[in-house]
Chains A and B, each alone.
Chain A
Amino acid sequence: MNKPLSGDQLLKRKLAAAFAPTNDSDWTLIIRPKTGWFDLHLQDLWRYRDLVMLFVRRDFVSQYKQTILGPLWFIIQPLLTTVTYTVIFGNIAQLSTDGLPKILFYLSGVTAWNYFADCLTKTSETFVANANIFGKVYFPRLAVPVSIVLSNLIRFAIQLGLFLGFYFYFLARGTAIRPTMALWLMPLLVLLMAALGLGSGIIVSSMTTRYRDLRYLVQFGVQLLMYSTPVIFPLSQLPDRYRWIMLSNPMTPVIETFRYAFLGTGTFSWGYLGVSAAASAVTLAVGILLFNHVEKTFMDTV
Chain B
Amino acid sequence: MSAVIQVDRLSKQYRLGQIAGRRLVDAVNRWLAKLRGQEDPLSKIGSVTASRPSSSSDASARNRGQAQTIWALKDVSFEVKQGEVLGIIGRNAAGKSTVLKILSRVTAPTEGEARIKGRISSLLEVGTGFHPELTGRENIYLNGAILGMTKSEIRGKFDQIVAFSEVEQFIDTPVKRYSSGMYVRLAFAIAAHLEPEILIVDEVLAVGDSAFQQKCLGKMKDVAGEGRTILFVSHNMEAVRRLCTRGVWLREGVMHMDDAIDDVVDAYLDSIPQQPTAVLGNSGLGLTVFDIRLRNQSGVHCSTFRPGDDLIVEMSYEANTSIAFPGFAIVVQSFKGSCFAANMMLDGHQPAVLYGKGQIACTFKSIPLLPQNYTVQLAIRARNGKDLIIGYNDVAYFAVSGNLAEYGYKGGFIALAAHSTPVVVPYQWRLPDGTVASVSLNLPLT
Contact = CB atoms under 8 A, between A and B. Distances in A.
Given A4-B257, A61-B134, A211-B27, A301 B115 contact: no
B108 A30 contact: no
A2 B263 contact: yes
A88 B403 CA distance: 82
B145 A17 contact: no
B77 interface: yes
B107 A296 contact: yes
23 contacts: A1-B263, A2-B263, A4-B257, A5-B256, A14-B75, A27-B6, A29-B115, A30-B113, A30-B114, A31-B102, A32-B109, A33-B108, A58-B142, A62-B133, A62-B134, A135-B101, A135-B106, A136-B125, A137-B129, A138-B105, A139-B146, A213-B23, A296-B108
A137 B147 contact: yes
A301 B16 CA distance: 10
A1 B265 CA distance: 11
A214 B151 CA distance: 37
Given A30-B113, A31-B105, A33-B111, A54 B133 contact: no
A66 B267 CA distance: 56
Nearest to B257: A4
Contact of A299 (B106, B147, B270): B106
A300 B106 CA distance: 10
Contact of A27 (B77, B116, B151, B259): B116
B11 to A, nearest CB: 9
A22 B15 CA distance: 32
A62 B6 CA distance: 42
Nearest to B149: A50
A66 B173 CA distance: 13
Given A5-B255, A32-B113, A138-B122, 13 more contacts: A1-B260, A22-B115, A27-B116, A32-B108, A33-B112, A62-B133, A136-B124, A137-B125, A137-B128, A137-B129, A296-B108, A300-B14, A300-B15
Given A1-B259, A4-B257, A17 B142 contact: no
A210 interface: yes
Contacts of A57: 138
Interface string B64-84: 000000000001010000000
B91 interface: no
The B interface is mostly helix, strand or loop, or mixed, namely mixed
A178 interface: no
Interface string B14-42: 11000100111101000000000000000
A274 to B, nearest CB: 33
Interface string A291-302: 000001101110
B286 interface: no
Interface in B202-239: none
Contacts of A22: 6, 115
Contacts, number: 139
A13 B79 CA distance: 11
Given A4-B257, A33-B111, A51-B146, A133 B128 contact: yes
B258 interface: yes
Contacts of A241: none
A48 interface: yes
A134 B146 CA distance: 10
Nearest to B251: A4
Interface string A46-64: 0010110011011001100
B159 interface: no
Which of B14, B105, B118 is packed against the most chain A CB atoms within 10 Å?
B105
Nearest to A64: B133
Interface in A240-299: 296-297, 299
B314 to A, nearest CB: 26
A3 to B, nearest CB: 8
A96 B22 CA distance: 45
A63 to B, nearest CB: 9
Q: Chain A, interface size: which category?
A: 35 or more
Given A31-B102, A133-B128, A210 B22 contact: yes
List the 3 shortest-distance A-B pairs measured between CB atoms, nearest first.
Answer: A296-B108, A51-B145, A138-B105
B142 A31 contact: no
B52 to A, nearest CB: 17
Contacts of B6: 17, 22, 27
A128 to B, nearest CB: 12
A15 to B, nearest CB: 11
A65 interface: yes
A10 B256 CA distance: 10
B141 interface: yes
B108 A13 contact: no
Contacts of A34: 108
Interface in A100-142: 133-139
A66 B133 contact: yes
A94 interface: no
A236 to B, nearest CB: 38
B391 interface: no
A301 B107 CA distance: 11
A50 B107 contact: no
B205 to A, nearest CB: 16
A8 interface: no
A26 interface: yes
Contacts of A10: 255
A138 B108 contact: no
Contact of B9 (A14, A61, A136, A213): A14
A215 to B, nearest CB: 11
B135 to A, nearest CB: 10
B266 interface: yes
Contacts of A301: 19
Scoring B119, B122, B131 by chain A CB atoms within 10 A of each residue's CB, the highest score goes to B131
